[in-house]
Copies of this chain bind each other. A is one copy, B any other.
Amino acid sequence: METIAIVGVGLIGGSFGLALRRAGFKGKIFGVSSPASIQAALVMGAIDAPISLREAAQTVDVLYLSQPINQILETITVLAPDLHPGALITDAGSTKQVIVKRAEEAGIAEQFLGGHPMAGKEKRGVQAADAELFAGRPYVLTPTTSGTTLHEELKSWITAFGAQVVTMSPENHDSTVASTSHLPQLISTALALTLADDPNPFASNIFGPGLIDMTRLALSSPDVWMSVLDTNRPAVRRALTRFVEYLGKVEIALDKHSDLEQYFSSASEYASRIRK
């Protein structure tokens, strides 16, 4: 891998460029993005030069698609006719089945490797990019072909960022993030909405620090989430149904201490486990 083009130089794309550089990548890092993002990314050293999508498809070794999901889908369709046979395309979209399917439909499945870095920040845009964003976090890859040496090289770089590469099927990825990411997002949004609509004026000022944690995800922008949820609806619905079931169990247990204590202790054990 000697050249890479980051398509969509925002928080994730910019961080990928910075992390590559920090890890010792000597090749050229191109960027396909808005003029403002390109300018900021050049100043920060996240990319070396701008490039058009077409030229990137025709010449660059790895294309890294880090746009919102709906744009990733469009980019795949648009670049497919120009893609040179030695290139690898990977992406950073939050759902995988629909994106992988689009690569198949565009006839470039053999050159596509789905990816999803489980990293993020409240802030968006390349200005918030950070070479350490992926460190200590899982980075999911969803290979559907046997892969080339470029696959292996890409994996090595991700590992060099300090991320843990986890290989899963696109289906398993989507059902997992429905529970661990999309469900918490919708819960946070619904909680904030419940309180926003509360006729009690104290619902906006009498609260402890816990509510701040529980509503941080509610600050998320809808434009990112629309296409995430659109491309994972059945799994998100299953996750919501399971959660409501468990919330119902907790409600019933309000009258039965032994059950409620058991629930608190299982929940606490899980919450401790994911912090290790």
Contacts and interface: CB of A to CB of B under 8 A. Distances in A.
A15 to B, nearest CB: 14
Interface string A57-101: 000000000000000000000000000000000000000000000
Most chain B Cβ neighbours within 10 Å, of A194, A202, A229, A257: A194
Contact of A246 (B175, B190, B203, B265): B190
A266 B206 contact: no
A174 B236 CA distance: 33
A254 B121 CA distance: 24
Given A226-B257, A264-B222, A211 B180 contact: yes
A40 to B, nearest CB: 23
B119 A243 contact: no
A31 to B, nearest CB: 24
Contacts of A186: 247, 250-251
A118 B207 CA distance: 6
A43 B188 CA distance: 41
B243 A194 contact: yes
Contact of A138 (B206, B215, B236): B206
Contacts of A197: 246, 266
A219 to B, nearest CB: 5
A185 interface: yes
Interface in A186-240: 186-198, 200, 202-222, 225-226, 229, 233, 236-237, 239-240
B210 A270 contact: no
A54 interface: no
Contacts of A261: 222, 226
Copies in the complex: 2
Secondary structure of the A contact surface, majority rule = helix
Contacts of A184: 191, 210-211, 214
A240 to B, nearest CB: 5
Contacts of A103: none
A33 B233 CA distance: 54
A36 interface: no
A4 interface: no
Interface in A29-64: none
A19 to B, nearest CB: 17
Contact of A203 (B176, B226, B243, B264): B176
A145 B226 CA distance: 53
A239 B220 CA distance: 24
A193 B140 contact: no
